[in-house]
A and B are shown apart, each in its own frame.
Chain A
Amino acid sequence: MNSLPARTRGASRRDVLKGTGLAAAFVLVPGLATSCAKSKSESGSGSLKFWDMPWAVESYNTASEALVEAYKPASGLPAAKLQRIQWNNFSTTFASALASKTGPAVSSGAGFQAFQFAEQGYIAMADNLISDWEKDGFLNDFITGTVDALKTSEGYVGVPWQSDVRTWWYRKSLFDDAGATIPTTWDELMTAGELLKEKGYFGFGNGAGAGNNIGAQSLVMMMINNGGGLFDPDGELDLLNERNVETIDFVLELVKAGISDPAAVSYTTDNHLGQWKNKKFAFGIHTPALDDNIADSSGDLLIASPLAGPHGDKATLAYVNNIMMYTNTPSQEGSEAFVDYYIRGMKTYWQTSVISALPVLQSIVDMPEFQKSGNKVKAVKEYLPIAKTYAARSSEVFPAIAQVDGSQPLAQFTQTVLGGQTDAKSALTTLQQGLSAIVTS
């Protein structure tokens, strides 16, 4: 029988030693490891941890490291050290860092995370910095609306550094080939779409697959375009208002007419970009960085002027990406000094063209290097003024926005609509129910 005999005394002493030895090793060695780990990470205690995301290609990473390295703090203030944080599972990285007090003093990040963190008291408000800038006039350099997009009832949760809007793009050669004209209203989009379809091109290029949020953002953008949006002016979820229903009805018409690619439901970011690159998509919504993303500088791929909705409204969805400061910092004054330096110095990214996002400082927009990019200039000129966050219809921003962005109900909604097997009311009702369960404030 396979059972242990009763006699174990001699062996057990040996084994207890062995077991304790191993256990002890695991307790002692961490001590060694800690010193090793520390020497690998921050060089000096009290230096500012600055977390930045990979906002563009490798050249951006190098440029940002250089910019941070070049920061010479005033005496008594801490120097800054940059840490690159990957987008993958970034919310877990930030959350676990904040919970264990090992987080950064300053960081960039997702468009709305500052609002959520502020609610929990992790954010140091930027009011001081903003009022300093107001005094010396620097605040005037910010494009209208960008700073206010970060204002909550408790203060400014961060300072803007670049913005990301949703714009309409078109590929000229495909329009010429189909004999269609670039639309300026939604109705014209339908007409052009039908002409493009005859040649096998898609007039409503989109993508809503794994990891691809453009699809969801495009539907929200269109709702906002039409004067609707996810929330009402009081910040309550209002999916079923008539402008939203009208919007989704329109999108469903596009889908049924075959103007939207049926496989778009599953397109990852790469599939999506691939369709633009392969000249299958003739018209559609994307970020201002589309031409950079597919390395297309031929001049064939251009940003179209904003479309007017059925009631003549023009609006788009925007993310004002911001630099935020945290309460867990060696020196608040040091944080502010660093952010001040960083915002004033970030123009080098656009000077050396390492970043594709839109600047928020007018002075950067006016730079000759930026003016060279016709598409981005057009985006700044025509889209930024009409850009709204998810809180489109309200004048204030609130944390609920962060909860809906990238959420599961929104993704499901997008896939349902792009799949075409539904009607506007039911899809929006499902979305309303799904989002109500999530939005807590």
Chain B
Amino acid sequence: MTATHETGDLSHVVEVRGGKGRRSDKRGQWWRFLLILPIAAVALVPVGVVFLLAFTPSAASNTTGLTMENFSNVFANTDVLLWLQNSLLVTVGTVLVCVAVAAPAGYVLSRGRSRAVATYSLMLFVFQSLPVITAVIPLFLIFANIGLVDSLLGLTIVYVGSSMAVAIWMMAAYMDSIPISLEEAAWIDGASLFRGFWQVVLRNSLPGILSTAIFTFLVAWNDYLVAIVFLRSDVAFTLPLGLQSFFQQNTTDWGAVMAVAVIAMIPPVALFVFLNKYFSVGGIGGSLAGQ
């Protein structure tokens, strides 16, 4: 029973699903389209507001109607490109390290049955559950002592640590769906544990890795609670901090804020579009392909 189930599983993991009945399909398509359109429209209203405000001139300017002037203002007078660069550096660094460290750890969590692994899993829950605001000042103190305050590297380390637990979980959950018979086959052939992990499981975990990558990317990209405590110098600002810099004593330049927000949305969206190709039909993310 188990054996057939598991081999069946494997084909799901790698194949692209497709091929349905023909006749009701065309009508079904349009019906679903009409259903999803209003839902998407309502869901996108707030996003629409962001774009609207980005193209609306701010209180201090004299132009009326929609204009690109917030964008030109932002590019000319602020360090938005520097912020973009810093954000990319930190976020890409976080994603790479996090995935590299979480994948093997997730493997152990998925396959391990010992007491040690259960304790490890409990530890993960505890660490994930403590709200970040309580950890921020103690962390700052440690990092100040080793000179990693006000540095992008220090920030990256904190981000990696913060998203690690969930990343390990997501990896473990995905790997749960890959049957161990594959590794067993590899071990019988003389491969080591690590080999089994590397060549068999990892190779088949691409959707899981990509989901974890996306999740970690967004956590690091949009964080400002940690960044605002750890970063001081203007040259180190990431995009969320750059956004905060428009919040002055009593007023806020909303046009500029929204323009920067629109700019900040471009890399993640580009990432989604790019990664969309690598996932099976039906959506982005394959981390928890069912049993």
Contact = CB atoms under 8 A, between A and B. Distances in A.
User: Do A and B come together as binding partners?
Assistant: yes
Interface of A: 1-5, 7-8, 10-11, 14-15, 22, 26, 29-30, 33-34, 36-38, 40-41, 53-58, 83-89, 92-93, 95-96, 99-102, 269-270, 273, 277, 287, 289, 293-295, 356
Interface residues of B, number: 54
B141 interface: yes
Nearest to A274: B59
Contacts, number: 143
A51 to B, nearest CB: 9
Nearest to A26: B157
Given A2-B111, A93-B228, A96-B144, A56 B249 contact: yes
Contact of B110 (A2, A10, A269, A356): A2
Residues of B contacting A: mostly: helix
B184 to A, nearest CB: 8
B130 interface: no
Contact of B193 (A5, A83, A86): A5
Given A4-B114, A102-B144, A36 B151 contact: yes
Contact of B141 (A22, A37, A96, A293): A96
B228 A89 contact: yes
B241 interface: yes
Contacts of A29: 153
Interface of B: 59-60, 77, 101, 104, 108, 110-114, 136-137, 140-141, 144-154, 157, 176, 180, 187, 192-195, 224-225, 228-229, 232-236, 241, 244-245, 247-254
B59 A11 contact: no
Contacts of A58: 77, 248, 253
B147 A34 contact: yes
Given A5-B193, A87-B249, A89-B228, A30 B137 contact: no
Nearest to B114: A4
Given A37-B150, A89-B229, A57 B111 contact: no
A5 B150 CA distance: 45
A56 B140 CA distance: 29
B250 A269 contact: yes
A437 to B, nearest CB: 20
A92 B135 CA distance: 12
A353 B187 CA distance: 76
Contacts of B150: 37, 40-41
Nearest to B147: A34
B111 A100 contact: no
B228 A41 contact: no
A54 B248 contact: yes
Nearest to B153: A33
A88 B247 contact: yes
Given A93-B229, A99-B141, A102-B149, A7 B245 contact: no
A295 B145 CA distance: 46
Contact of A41 (B59, B180, B233, B244): B233
B124 to A, nearest CB: 17
Contact of A295 (B59, B136, B146, B193): B59
A289 B144 CA distance: 38
A6 B176 CA distance: 20
A54 B114 CA distance: 55
A293 B58 CA distance: 12
Contacts of A287: 250
